[in-house]
A and B are shown apart, each in its own frame.
Chain A
Amino acid sequence: MCRKTSEGPFDDREDTVSAPNRAIDLSGEQITLGPVGDRVTRIAGAIGVLGLVATALLGMQGGVEGQARAMNSYLVAFCFFLSIMLGALFFTLIQHVTRAGWSVVLRRFAEAIAANAPLMAVLALPILVPIALGRDLLYVWTSSEALAHDHLMAGKVGFLNPTFFLIRMVVYFGAWSLMGSWFFRKSVEQDTSGDPNLTVKMQSASAPGLFVFAITLTFASLDLLMSLEPNWFSTMFGVYFFAGSALAFFATLPIVSYFTQKAGRLVGLISREHYHDMGKFVFAFIVFWAYIAFSQYMLYWYANIPEETVWFLRRQTGQWESLSWLLLFGHFIVPFLALISRIPKRAKGTLIVGAFWMLLMHYADLYYVAMPHLSEGVIPLSLMDLTAMLGVGGFFVASVATRLRNRSLVPQRDPRLHESLAFENF
C-alpha cells in the first residue's frame, strides 16, 4: 500500500517515541480550584441573587399576569439547569455501569454537578410552594375554575392534583439528591482512602441507580413540562426530555473542562483525546434528540387526530413556527453537519463554540415546549427569561464551585485513572 509520509491534518498527536512517559502533575495547585473557586462562587452567587430578585420584582409589577409570566420564565430556567444536573447524574451512572476507563479524569465534574440535586430541590420551591398554597399561577390543572369547564382535564384529576404532584416531587428530588450526593461522597472518599472497594460499590449501585433515574426523569418531565398542556399526551415525552438533558450535559462538560484548563488546572490531564470523545457525545445526542423529536412528531402528524396534533399546531402557528424551524436547523441540521467530521471535534475552539450553541438551542427547545401555552401565535420574550436564567444559573455554578473549592478536580486515586490518562482514540 502506498503511504505518504507528509504530515496530514490528522497528525495532531504528540510523538509517542520522543515522549514515552508524559510526566503527570498531580500536585495540589494543579488539581484543586483554590482561590479561583472562591472567585467563581462569589461572582456567580452575586449574579444568582440579583437574577432571582430581579425576576421576582419584575413579576410583581405585572399583577397576577406578571406573576404567571415570571413563573413560566422561572420554570424554563429551572428545567434548563435541572436537565444539566440530570445529564450529569446519567453520565456518572453510565461510566460506573460500563466500568469506563477513558472518562475518569472528567468524572469529578459530572459528580459535582449531579450533587447539585439538593440545590435544585430548594430552587424548586418557588414552583412548588404556590401550588401547595392553592395558587394557580403555572399549571392550568391547579385551577378549580378551569377544571369545572374542561371535562377531559377533570378526568385526569386523580393523577394531576396538587397533593399527589407534591408527593411525586418529593420522591423525584429525594431520589436524585440521594444518588447525586452519594456518588460524589464516595468518590471523594476514595481520594483520601484510595480504597478500590469504593469503585466496586459505586459500580454495583449504578445499575439500580439507572433504573430509578429513568423512571423518575420520565415522570418528572411529564409533571413539570407536559402537564402545562394537560390535555395533550405523548408517551415519548420523557425520552425527548432525556435526550435534551444528556445533550445539555455533554455540551456543558467540554465548556467546564476548557475553562478549568484555562485557569491553569488539569493541564495535561484532559487531553485532546478526551475533548474528541466529549465531541462525539455531543454529536451523538444531537442525532438522538433529532431522532426522538422527529419520531414524536411524525406519529402525530401521520395519525392526524385533533387532540394529539393540537400541541404541534400551536407550535406551527404565528411566530412559533419560526421557532420550530430554528430547532430543526439550529438544533439538528447545522450542528449535525458541523460536527460530523473528527477535525472540529478535536479542535477545542470549534468544539467549545458548538457546545455553547447547543446549550442555546437546548434553551430554545425548552422554551418551545413550555411557553406556547401562554400566548397563541406570539413568542412572549421577556426580560424575566434572562433574569431567571441568571438567577438559577448563578446559584447552580456557585454551588459546583464551592463543592470543588478544596477537593480534587479528578478522582485522583481511582483505579482506572491511569487508563484514562493514557487514553487515545484510533
Chain B
Amino acid sequence: MSDQAPKKFAGYLVEFETPHDIMVAATSVRDAGFTRWDTHTPFPVHGLDHAMGLRGTALPWIVMLMGVTGCAVGLGLQWWTNAHNYQFVVSGKPFFSIPATIPVTFELTILFSAIGAFLGMILLNGFPRWHHPVFSSERFRRATQDRFFLSVEAEDPLCEEDKTGEFLRSLGGSHLEKMEV
C-alpha cells in the first residue's frame, strides 16, 4: 500500500465484544453531542436506537405523500381517459363513477407508496455512494459475525484527532483504530 498517496484521517472505529458494551458506549457518545457517527452490529440490538438518540425518520411522510399522489394519479387517469378525453359507452355504465375506479386507484396508491418507501429509504441512507471509511479496516469484517463497532467520522464538528481518540479509548472497547482513506 506504500505506493499510494498518503492516507487521510477519516475518523475512529471502536470495537466491542458484547451488545451491552456498545449500548453503554453509544449512550456516552450520544451525550457527548456527536452527530456524525454510527454503530454496526451483526444483528439488531434492541434499545440501541434509543441509546444512540436516533429520531424517527422522514420516511413515513415521504410514503404518505407518494401514496396520496398515487391515489390522485389513479383517479385522475381514469377520469381523464374515460370521462374526458375519449368518452366511450361500455355496457351502459356511466363514464365516471367512484366504485369502478377504486381497484386501479388502490393499486396505484400501493405502487407509489412502495416506490416512495424503497427510493426514500435508499436516499435517506445516503446512497448511492461508492465507499465508506469503515471499510478501510480489516477488523470491521467481523461486524457481520461477532463484533460490535462504533464509528465516529472525521467530518463530525466535534471530532478532533487527539481528543476524540482519548475519549473513545475511555469507553472501554476492546480495540480502537483510525479509519483512513
A residues at B contact (CB < 8 Å): 1-11, 13, 15-17, 20, 294, 297-298, 301-302, 340-342, 422, 424, 426
Contacts and interface: CB of A to CB of B under 8 A. Distances in A.
A4 B53 contact: yes
A17 B21 CA distance: 10
B56 A1 contact: no
Contacts of B126: 1
Nearest to B19: A16
Nearest to B64: A340
Interface in B30-78: 30-31, 33-38, 44, 46-47, 49-56, 60, 64
B20 A20 contact: yes
Contacts of B100: 298, 302
B33 A1 contact: no
Q: From DSSP, what is the main secondary structure of chain A's interface residues? A: loop
| 9 tightest Cβ-Cβ pairs between the two chains A and B | A16-B47, A8-B55, A10-B56, A5-B53, A424-B46, A13-B50, A301-B99, A17-B27, A17-B23
Contacts, number: 68
A192 to B, nearest CB: 32
A9 B36 contact: no
Given A1-B36, A6-B53, 14 more contacts: A3-B36, A3-B37, A3-B53, A13-B50, A15-B27, A17-B24, A17-B47, A294-B99, A294-B102, A297-B99, A302-B99, A302-B100, A341-B60, A424-B47
Contact of A11 (B23, B33, B55): B55
18 contacts: A3-B37, A3-B52, A4-B35, A5-B33, A7-B53, A9-B56, A13-B47, A13-B50, A15-B51, A16-B23, A16-B46, A17-B27, A20-B20, A298-B99, A298-B103, A302-B99, A424-B46, A426-B44
Nearest to A301: B99
Most buried by B among A3, A4, A9, A301: A3
Interface in B66-103: 99-100, 102-103
A202 B156 CA distance: 55
Contacts of A3: 35-37, 52-55
A99 B46 CA distance: 21
Contacts of A20: 20
A255 to B, nearest CB: 27
Interface string B91-134: 00000000110110000000000000000000001100000000
B31 to A, nearest CB: 8
B119 to A, nearest CB: 17
Contacts of B34: 5
A7 B31 CA distance: 12
Contacts of B46: 16, 422, 424
A294 B49 CA distance: 40
B55 A16 contact: no
A421 to B, nearest CB: 12
Contacts of B30: 5
Interface string B1-39: 000000000000000000010011001001101111110
B99 A15 contact: no
Most chain A C-beta atoms within 10 Å of own C-beta, residue among B31, B37, B47, B52: B47
A13 B116 CA distance: 28
B176 to A, nearest CB: 21
A386 B142 CA distance: 65
A84 to B, nearest CB: 29
Given A11-B50, A297-B99, A301-B99, A2 B36 contact: yes
Nearest to B100: A302
B175 to A, nearest CB: 21
A17 B48 CA distance: 9
Given A9-B56, A10-B56, A16-B23, A1 B47 contact: no
Interface string B118-156: 000000011000000000000000000000000000000
Contact of B35 (A5, A7, A294, A422): A5
A426 B50 CA distance: 11
Nearest to B155: A2
Contacts of A9: 56
Given A16-B46, A301-B99, A4 B51 contact: no
B38 to A, nearest CB: 7
Contacts of A8: 55-56
Contacts of A15: 27, 47, 50-51
A11 B102 CA distance: 37
Given A16-B47, A16-B50, A1 B38 contact: yes
A13 B50 CA distance: 7
Nearest to B29: A5
B108 to A, nearest CB: 16
